[in-house]
Amino acid sequence: MTRQPKIRKAGVVRRVLSAVAGLSLVIGAVAAQAADPIKIGAITTSTGPGSYLGEAEEKALKLMVAQINKKGGVLGREIQLVHYDDGTNAERARALMQRLVTEDEVSVVIGSSTTPNTLSMADVATRYKIPLVSMAGAKAITDPVRPWVFAVPENDVMALGVMFDHLTKHKLTRVALLSSTSGFGRAAREGALELSKKRGDISIVVDETYAAGDTDMSAQLTRIRGNGQVQAIINLDFGNQPAIVTRNYAALGIKVPLYQSHAIAAPKYPELAGPSSEGVRVAVQPLLVVEQLPDSQPEKAKGLEFRKLIQERYNELPHGFHGYGYDALLVTVDAISRAGSTDKEAVRKALEQTRGVAGVTSQYTFSATNHGGVMPVSKLRMAEIRNKGFVLID
């Protein structure tokens, strides 16, 4: 007696399943009659130390692909995003890139979030001749130009320029450099030393470094404090360590202002650093302070619209890295629609002919000699942290 209902239940389940299977077959046949989807590959750094970059980019990519598909897709075809997470591991990024190219057979790849991961993927892109649009910010990605590799963010040297301009404007010309020896910090340090030599208005009087994983930078900051010449401190790093630097800086009662790079410009930073981050100056992408931008800025309207979408879907405020995800997809989709096909060489050519495409972080114009990374004018602005928020400053 107890058995019978079970059997009947199983029968019902089986019938429902077979009905669903039949239905999906019908739907599948209909969909196949319409055009095949356009496959776009994406690799982001959604876990590991770089997770706050990739997680935001992944959210923006997924959201915007859904939005585009809702409006009818591109070239009358749906976009299918094949997304993987590289876990802040360059070799994994490379294997996943290989997978996207040979197994998933995507037409173009967006990614990854950090420089080493992008560079390891760039080799695969070159070998298999497939366009790659990166969301990482080192100069090395697009200089020298690789035919198949493009980048959306401004490079680290441009970002440093914004900081240097601000320092000069406020007559803080003797600075101390504090950087991480990891990839981004090291590249940015070299960029800063070079830029200071080239410009001549900022002199670096102290040059301190720390290793990735260090949990206390008081020693380096004490040495900086001990140098009477220093008028400002620049910290070049991403991830959690700049928050530690900020806490140490506050604990030591250092009076000169602290400048942080654009790589930490996300709400996570004041959250991690706590009250000690009050008054810290940061180069920020416009999206982070979009409501404070003057109405004349072309990024403002689009940025506000995008912010609403992100807020509705994920219940959080977007920052610059959401913006890079948005813009990378925008530039890619724009190129596919101008190319009129998903032929890889055609898409690559179309990417090179990108002219004045307005995204939420910048406008993009590429050429055969400029694959991104450099803009005529930097879009980054200086902001100060007040009440845990980013406030634009002069």
Is 352 a binding residue for another protein by CB under 8 A? The answer is: no
The DSSP code for 74 is B
Considering just the CA atoms, what is the radius of gyration of the chain in Å?
Answer: 24
Give the DSSP H/E element, type plus range, for residue 382: strand 381-386
Residue 278 is given by DSSP the state T
Q: Residue 253: how many CB atoms within 10 A of its CB?
A: 7
Backbone angles phi, psi at 215, to 5 degrees: -115, 5
- The secondary structure element, H or E, covering residue 73 is none
User: Distance between CA 370 and CA 350 in Å, rounded?
Assistant: 13
- CB under 8 A: which stretch of 8-16, 98-106, 156-164, 240-248 binds another protein? 98-106
Position 119 contacts another protein (CB under 8 A): yes
Which CB atom, from 187 or from 382, has the smaller least distance to another protein? 187
Least CB distance from residue 210 to another protein, whole Å?
A: 12
Token pair belonging to 304? 């506000």
Q: Map residues 128-147 to x or -, x wherever contact with another protein holds by CB under 8 A.
A: ------------x-------
166-205: contacts with another protein (CB under 8 A): 181-183, 186-187
Binding of residue 91 to another protein (CB under 8 A): yes
Residue 123, interface with another protein (CB under 8 A)? Answer: yes
Among 388, 380, 365, 391, CA closest to 150: 365
Q: What are phi and psi of 129, to 5 degrees?
A: 55, 65
Helix pair angle (90-102, 115-128), 10° resolution: 30
- What part of residues 18-47 is at the interface with another protein (CB under 8 A)? 46-47
Single-letter amino acid code for the residue at 289: V
Contacts of residue 124, defined as CB under 8 A and 6 or more positions apart, other chains included, come to: 94, 97, 98, 101, 130
Cβ closest to another protein, residue 140 vs residue 204: 140
- The CA distance from 330 to 320, in Å, is 15
**Of the candidates 188, 191, 193, 251, which has an alpha carbon nearest to the alpha carbon of residue 219?**
251
Output the smallest distance, CB 212 to another protein, in A.
8
**Exactly one of 54, 111, 116, 359 binds another protein (CB under 8 A); which one?**
116
Nearer to another protein, 122 or 385 (CB): 122
The least distance separating another protein from the CB of residue 221, rounded to whole angstroms, comes to 21
**Among 65, 90, 133, 385, which residue sits at the site for another protein (rule: CB under 8 A)?**
90
CB of 99: closest distance to another protein in angstroms? 5
240 belongs to the binding site for another protein (CB under 8 A): no
Helix (H, G, I), strand (E, B) or coil at 365: coil
Residue 83 as a binder of another protein (CB under 8 A): the answer is yes
Quick check: 115 binds another protein (CB under 8 A)?
yes
Q: Please choose, out of 95-103, 193-201, 231-239, 300-308, the segment that lies near another protein by the rule CB under 8 A.
A: 95-103
**Contact residues for another protein, defined by CB under 8 A:** 46-47, 83-85, 89-92, 94-96, 98-99, 101-103, 115-116, 119-120, 123, 127, 140, 181-183, 186-187, 211-212
